[in-house]
Amino acid sequence: MLAQLDPSFEPSKPLFLTAAFYKFVSLPDYEHKRDSILSFCESQQIKGIILLAKEGINSTICGEEKNVRAVLDFLKSDPPFSDLQHKESWTQIKPFRRMKVRLKKEIVTFGVPGIDPNVTTGTYIKPEDWNALINDPEVVVIDTRNDYEVELGTFAGAINPNIKKFTDLADWVKNSSALQQNNSKKTKVAMFCTGGIRCEKSTAYLKNLGYDEVFHLQGGILKYLETIPKKESLWQGECFVFDERVSVDHSLRPGQYYLCRVCRQPITKEDEKSAKFELGVSCDNCFDQTNAEQKIKARERQKQCLLAHLKNTSHIGDQPG
């Protein structure tokens, strides 16, 4: 089936299942869960990252299908995660090279005290009902992701707040003319993000500000792409993901982008034509942000990465920690 969808598919290469999931749930003992989760993931040769905090869990993991499903079953055997839901995609590219379980203050950093999706959040809208909602002229549709994510793709008609990081969204909300109430009529707001987790907090924030009709896409863009046929889709472009795939297309296959190893911004083969581009050293986004000495160090790092690749080993600089 994948061979019919993707001309680059090579039957001789292994196929990996990627599962993305999160859940806001009270975890007072989250520190004590780390070791057992990490140990089980490693026993299943799973790679990826799991974030744990008092407010819940946030993760993307990848591996052979039976191993990924074993990890999901292991997590669901713990009562707080019994109804854990996930999004799936398939790839021949290994999105991760390590397995990490990290303890955090928040599973997604918003930076506004008192925002708790376990207490209040917006109304979930299933992917099947999302098109009708955002086609409503009375609804303000907001892409809550960072500017470099939005640049790769977004929903038709969505507002781009042009934020550098998610913690900037709260200030944008307070100052946005698009969210001003007109003629004493409450503004209807629909928000979306990659997997849904950022909207849990952004919609909770709007609810706390007094907005009554606040909605968000359940499961995020990834669930929408997984659920809605392309011919019925209002999605335009590719979706940025925070792993080695960089982006996925509407069929959830790895897209055309890869990461500049210096600034971590997505770039394409077309960007390589720039005079400022040098593989592993600079791109248009970061050329003017590093000096000559830093570029020399980057060239040496790129050389070591290439040598490691030729020896079929990994290099510490291949992927961020």
Q: What's the pLDDT tens digit per position in 80-110?
A: 999 999 999 998 888 898 999 999 999 999 9
Fold of 2-107: Alpha-Beta Plaits (3.30.70)
3 pLDDT above the threshold of 90: no
Q: How far apart are CA 250 and CA 252, in angstroms?
A: 5
User: What percent of the chain has a predicted confidence (pLDDT) above 90?
Assistant: 75
For 273-283, the pLDDT digits (tens) are 999 999 999 99
Q: What is the pTM of this model?
A: 0.84
| Active-site residue, from 193, 199, 239, 283 | 193
- In the chain, CATH 3.40.250.10 covers 123-237
260 is catalytic: no
Distances (CA, A) of 17 to 14, 198, 245: 10, 23, 13
Structure tokens at 280: 């592993």
Lowest mean pLDDT among 22-36, 199-213, 294-308: 294-308
The secondary structure element, H or E, covering residue 125 is: strand 123-125
Domain boundaries for CATH 3.30.70.100 within the chain: 2-107
Sheet arrangement for strand 16-24: 86-91, 16-24, 56-63, 47-53, 99-103
Q: Note the Cα 164 to chain centre separation in Å.
A: 15
The answer, yes or no, to whether residue 243 has pLDDT greater than 50, is: yes
Helix or strand holding residue 201 (H, E): helix 197-208
Q: Write down the mean pLDDT value for the chain.
A: 90
Helix (H) or strand (E) holding 190: strand 188-192
13 pLDDT band, cuts 50/70/90, is low
249 pLDDT exceeds 90?
yes
Instruction: Determine the topology of domain 123-237 in CATH.
Output: Oxidized Rhodanese; domain 1 (3.40.250)
Per-residue model confidence as pLDDT tens digits over 140-171: 999 999 999 999 999 999 999 999 999 999 99
Q: Tell me, what's the pLDDT at 10?
A: 55
Split at pLDDT 50, 70, 90, the class of 1 is: very low
Question: 3-state SS of 214-246?
Answer: EEEECCHHHHHHHHCCHHHCCEEECEECCCCCC
